Amino acid sequence: MIEKEAGIQVRQAGGLGSLSTVSLRGSTSDQVMVFMDGILLNDASGGGVDLSNISLSDVEAIEIYRGVTPINFGKSSIGGVVNIRTLRSKKGLNASATAGYGSFNTRKLAGFINHKHSDWDYLISADYLSSDNDFEFLNDNGTEWNTADDRWEKRNNALFDQKNLLTKFGFDFTDDIRVDLVNQWFSKDQGLPSWNNNEKTKTSFDVDRNINTVKLTANDIGPYHFNTSTRINYVWKKERYDDSQGHVGLGKQITEYLTNRYGADFFLEWLTEINTLSFMLSAQREEYDPKELLKRGNPNKSSRDAYNLGIQDSLSLFQNILIVTPALRHTTIKDELKSGMSIWDLPLEGRSRDEDYTSPQIGLKCRLSDWATLKTNVAKYVREPSFFELFGDRGFFIGNDELRAERGVNFDAGFEINWLPTNRLLQRFSCKAAYFKSNVDDLITRVYDARGIGRSVNISESEIQGIEAGIKIDFLKHFRLVGNATRQDTENKSEIKAFNGKKLPGRFEKSYLGRIEARYKGFKVYYEKIIEEGLYYDTANLLKAADKKEINAGTSWLFRSFLFTFEAKNLGDDRYEDFNGYPLPGRSYYLTFRYSY
């Protein structure tokens, strides 16, 4: 769903369930903040958020904020924000059961029930998803120019198995006061293939995560009728990386990563006839404890305290023709890094890092007519280096404890057209386009050696600019046409001569999507084509990815309480790699059955 929007790229390190990261307008995955119901999923440990660890069965809606971050999200980011809203209770008793099967022995089971009665309600959503991911690919054995040793093989040790349980309970004390209790548990066991697809590889990466939230909503308070939200949350996550055979990273490793995060936030909103004033205060403590189980020495135990204070005003002028939204954030970061031993048996000194950042932003929205709007935004952002970048991780990356925080300025300007004609031929026409630009100092990027082992470094300066556009047309009552296009130019302005003037790695230059849908009564059919071009794997621009051309199609039939869905992915059987050496599946098919009550 996310990658079908203009200016957004999702990169996968293999088939279903593999590492999946998101980029907005040429950002890195670390620069994109991903929230679930307003709870930040990005860890101080870093590495970006793995979207494959979010259950689709729980998702009700996805909010995307490019470049500028609303103040109600305590943390801002250079790339933008993705907020995933989970299912909410509806009136009455609702339930559903889902079962699916697809290529590569992919299996899915899901169940949902919610009941809202009078002052209280509850919701339970559970699902199971697994796949062998044994798709065929062409293995060149690491010798791109020698085709004599190329052979078609099935992907080995790429299987995964995941389970998820979401529970919610809510109680309305009055029409304006409500409490919500939420718990989400997720568990995933995953195999990691070796670079040469060794059939003996048993390397695994397992994740267990639990998110607890208590939220109190109190609206229409006092003579000024304030709306407030107070929330506390606790996130526990355990990751276990087992490469005891030494087939994937450098050397043999069994490493366990434990993350504990405690957070609290308060949001206040004051509405008047001409403006909306918002205030946000949040505090968070995160403790990161990695353990190398095959050796006596352990990497640094680390903790990060983060405090955010923000204020935003949305002022409506000239009878809502012009809306001005200035905002200001102040962030304080305190890192405590304890002494330890690296996985290479090198001493790591303990030290402290204290940083303060102030980030202003402003947005303008001008309504030209009932159907046309102009928008522009400018914002200043900072991103502190993660523990992942400072100390390395899992044998794939070596740390760099001299990294500086990224500092960037985002700008965008564009228009939106939403026209609802009153004729039989055309029911809706919407179009939007925007120019965006981002200048980042001390950009943190990863460079790789000949063995494929990475290390994070600061680039003195970089620039990203581009144009994104989208169009949506509903016509002849039963048809919808969707089109998106993005063109972005990235430039590395590093002082390092070998990198200066090169394109930033991991970003496409051009991206296009075209989709046609047809609906009639309970039937729906769609066909879409996705093209991505101009991506380099490396900072020196020596490894260019092949152009991605993906064709998808599907059909669904809703009959009373039954929904049948059939989808065909990558019909052109395009063999593409988002990450060098990690192929995506070829042609695949999936069938899903759902019953709703």
Handedness of CA 145, 148, 152, 156 (dihedral sign): negative
Neighbouring CB atoms inside 10 A of 151's CB total: 10
pLDDT score recorded for residue 450: 61
CB 534 within 8 A of CB 508: yes
Q: Which amino acid is residue 264, in one-letter code? A: A
Handedness of CA 141, 146, 149, 150 (dihedral sign): positive
| Cα–Cα distance, 90 to 123 (Å, whole number) | 9
Q: Which helix (H) or strand (E) holds 388?
A: helix 387-391
Q: What is the pTM of this model?
A: 0.90
| Cα–Cα distance, 211 to 194 (Å, whole number) | 32
| Cα–Cα distance, 485 to 468 (Å, whole number) | 6
**Position 340 confidence tier, pLDDT thresholds 50, 70, 90:** low
pLDDT score recorded for residue 215: 97
- pLDDT, tens digit, 9 for 90 and up, residues 8-26: 889 998 889 998 999 898 8
**Position 345 confidence tier, pLDDT thresholds 50, 70, 90:** low
Q: Is the pLDDT of residue 297 over 70?
A: no
Q: Which of 84-93, 134-143, 305-314, 315-324 has the lowest mean pLDDT?
A: 134-143
pLDDT above 90 covers a percentage of the chain that reads 60
Q: Which amino acid is residue 533, in one-letter code? A: E
Over the Cα atoms of the chain, what is R_g? 25
Q: Which residues of 436-456 are buried (b: 16+ CB within 10 A; e: fewer)?
A: bbbbbbbbbbbbbeeeeebeb
- How many distinct helices (H) and strands (E) make up the chain? 1, 34
| Separation of first and last alpha carbons in the chain | 25
Q: Which of 106-115, 284-293, 331-340, 557-566 has the lowest mean pLDDT?
A: 331-340
Q: What is the mean pLDDT of residues 395-421?
A: 86
Q: What is the mean pLDDT of residues 244-263?
A: 86
pLDDT score recorded for residue 5: 86
Burial zone of 115 (CB within 10 Å; 0-12 exposed, 13-18 middle, 19+ buried): middle
pLDDT score recorded for residue 570: 95
pLDDT score recorded for residue 247: 82
| Cα–Cα distance, 432 to 373 (Å, whole number) | 9
Burial zone of 535 (CB within 10 Å; 0-12 exposed, 13-18 middle, 19+ buried): buried
Q: Which amino acid is residue 523, in one-letter code? A: F
| Cα–Cα distance, 158 to 64 (Å, whole number) | 30
Q: What is the mean pLDDT of residues 127-154?
A: 86
Handedness of CA 450, 451, 452, 455 (dihedral sign): negative
pLDDT above 70 covers a percentage of the chain that reads 95
Q: Which of 136-140, 190-194, 518-522 has the lowest mean pLDDT?
A: 136-140
Any idea where the domains of the chain sit in the sequence?
Answer: 2-596
CA atoms within 13 A on the CB side of 321: 4
pLDDT score recorded for residue 505: 87
Burial zone of 302 (CB within 10 Å; 0-12 exposed, 13-18 middle, 19+ buried): buried
CB 41 within 8 A of CB 35: yes
- pLDDT, tens digit, 9 for 90 and up, residues 424-459: 899 999 999 999 999 988 888 777 666 666 788 887
Cα 526 → chain centroid: 25
**Position 123 confidence tier, pLDDT thresholds 50, 70, 90:** very high
Q: Which of 124, 394, 361, 143 is nearest to 257 (CA)?
A: 394
**Position 540 confidence tier, pLDDT thresholds 50, 70, 90:** confident
- pLDDT, tens digit, 9 for 90 and up, residues 555-565: 999 999 999 99
pLDDT score recorded for residue 343: 56
Neighbouring CB atoms inside 10 A of 561's CB total: 10
Neighbouring CB atoms inside 10 A of 573's CB total: 11
pLDDT score recorded for residue 244: 87
| Cα–Cα distance, 530 to 524 (Å, whole number) | 20
Average pLDDT, the chain: 89
| Cα–Cα distance, 228 to 532 (Å, whole number) | 43
**Position 335 confidence tier, pLDDT thresholds 50, 70, 90:** confident
CB 484 within 8 A of CB 470: yes
* DSSP for residue 18: S
Using CA atoms in the order 484, 489, 492, 498, what is the torsion angle rounded to 10 degrees?
110
| Cα–Cα distance, 432 to 5 (Å, whole number) | 11
pLDDT score recorded for residue 480: 96
Q: Which of 409, 290, 314, 319 is nearest to 363 (CA)?
A: 314
CB 25 within 8 A of CB 80: yes
Q: 2-596 sits in which CATH class?
A: mainly beta
- pLDDT, tens digit, 9 for 90 and up, residues 76-113: 788 889 999 999 888 889 999 999 999 999 999 999 99
Q: Is the pLDDT of residue 69 over 90?
A: no
Q: Is the pLDDT of residue 584 over 90?
A: yes
